[in-house]
Amino acid sequence: MISFLQPIWLWAAAGIIIPIAIHLWNVKQGKTLKVGSIAFITESARSQARNFKISQWLLLLLRCLLIVVLAMLLAKPYFNRQLNAKEEGWIVIERSGLKNAYHTYQPTIDSLRKQGYFLHYFNETFQDIDWNDTLKTEESTATNIVRSYWALLKALDEKVPANLPVYLFTDKRLQHFSGNRPEVSLNIKWFTYLSTDTAVTWIANAYKATDDSIRIIAGKTSALGTYYTHQNLSFNEVNDKFRVERNNGKTFVVTNDSLYQTIAVDTSTLSITIYTNKYFADANYLRAALDAIKDFTQRNMQVTVVHNIKDIPGNAGWLFWLSDEAVPASKLKGKVFMYENGKSENVHSTLLTDDNTPLTNIEPVTLFQYIKNDNTSFQPIWKNGFDEPILNMQKNGATVYHFYSHFNPQWNDLVWSHAFPQIIYNLLFREEDVANEMTNAKDRRIIDSSQIQPVMLTAKKVNNKEVQQNRKDIPQVFWFIAFLLLLLERIASFKQTKVVYE
Interval 471-482: pLDDT, tens: 566 677 878 888
**Taking 70 as the threshold, does the pLDDT of residue 435 lie above it?**
no
Residue 169: predicted pLDDT: 93
> Residue 189 is part of which domain span?
89-134+141-194+446-457
Interval 54-85: pLDDT, tens: 667 777 788 888 888 888 888 877 666 554 54
Residues 316 and 365 in one domain: yes
Q: Domain tally for the chain?
A: 4
Residue 502: predicted pLDDT: 43
Residues 277 and 410 in one domain: yes
Whole-number Cα distances in Å, 350 to 198, 294, 355, 410, 413: 37, 28, 14, 14, 9
Residues 421 and 487 in one domain: no
Give the list of residues 6+ apart from residue 38 with CB closer than 8 angstroms, or none. Answer: none
CATH of the domain at 340: 3.40.50
Continuous H helices in 251-397? 280-297
Residue 401: predicted pLDDT: 95
Please, are residues 397 and 364 in contact by the beta-carbon 8 Å criterion?
Answer: no
Residues 394 and 314 in one domain: yes
Residues 297 and 416 in one domain: yes
Residue 499: predicted pLDDT: 43
451 half-sphere exposure, CB direction, 13 A CA radius: 10
Asked, for residue 62, whether it belongs to a domain, the answer is yes
Residues 370 and 452 in one domain: no
Residues 155 and 283 in one domain: no
Kindly report the backbone phi and psi dihedral angles of residue 83, in degrees, each rounded to the nearest multiple of 5, phi listed first.
-75, 160
* pLDDT above 90: percentage of residues in the chain: 26
Asked, for residue 40, whether it belongs to a domain, the answer is no
Give the list of residues 6+ apart from residue 219 with CB closer than 8 angstroms, or none. Answer: 201, 202, 203, 204, 226, 227, 228, 439, 442
Asked, for residue 469, whether it belongs to a domain, the answer is no
Asked, for residue 464, whether it belongs to a domain, the answer is no
Final residue of a domain: which of 264, 290, 311? 264
Asked, for residue 167, whether it belongs to a domain, the answer is yes
Asked, for residue 462, whether it belongs to a domain, the answer is no
Asked, for residue 12, whether it belongs to a domain, the answer is yes
Residues 251 and 291 in one domain: no
Residues 250 and 302 in one domain: no
Distance CA 490, CA 359 (A): 67
457 half-sphere exposure, CB direction, 13 A CA radius: 18
Final residue of a domain: which of 264, 292, 310? 264
Residues 168 and 153 in one domain: yes
Distance CA 155, CA 184 (A): 9
Please, are residues 215 and 222 in contact by the beta-carbon 8 Å criterion?
Answer: no
Asked, for residue 500, whether it belongs to a domain, the answer is no
What average pLDDT does this structure show over 463-472? Answer: 53
Interval 97-142: pLDDT, tens: 888 888 899 999 999 988 889 889 898 888 777 776 665 554 444 4
Check residue 126 and give left, alpha or beta (phi > 0: left; psi -120 to 50: alpha). Answer: left
